[in-house]
Amino acid sequence: MSRRPRALWIALAALLGALGGCVSSDAEFPPPEPPAAAIHFKATPPGEFPVDVYFAAWRDGYVIYTAGAAPLYLIPDKQGGYIIQSPGEGTRWVVERSDGSGWNILSPNRPAVYLLKQEGGGYILQPPGELPTLIVPD
Q: Would residue 135 count as lying in a domain?
A: no
Please report the pLDDT score of residue 137 as a whole number.
86
Q: Which amino acid is at 117?
A: K
Continuous H helices in the chain: 3-19
Number of domains in the chain: 1
Question: pLDDT tens across 88-124, in order?
Answer: 777 889 899 999 999 998 988 888 989 899 988 888 9
Q: Would residue 70 count as lying in a domain?
A: yes
Please report the pLDDT score of residue 59 as a whole number.
82
CB atoms under 10 Å from CB of 100, counted, come to 7
**What is the band of 21 on the pLDDT scale with cuts at 50, 70, 90?**
very low
Q: Would residue 134 count as lying in a domain?
A: no
Q: Would residue 138 count as lying in a domain?
A: no
Residue 95, strand partner residues: 104
Summarize the confidence of residues 31-52 as an average pLDDT. Answer: 87
Q: Are 91 and 84 in contact (CB under 8 A)?
A: yes
Domain that holds residue 73: 3-128
Q: Would residue 133 count as lying in a domain?
A: no
Report how far residue 52's alpha carbon sits from residue 121's, in angstroms, rounded to the nearest whole number: 17
Asked if pLDDT for residue 42 goes beyond 50, the answer is yes
Question: pLDDT tens across 54-73, in order?
Answer: 888 888 888 888 877 888 88
Question: pLDDT above 70 covers what percent of the chain?
Answer: 79
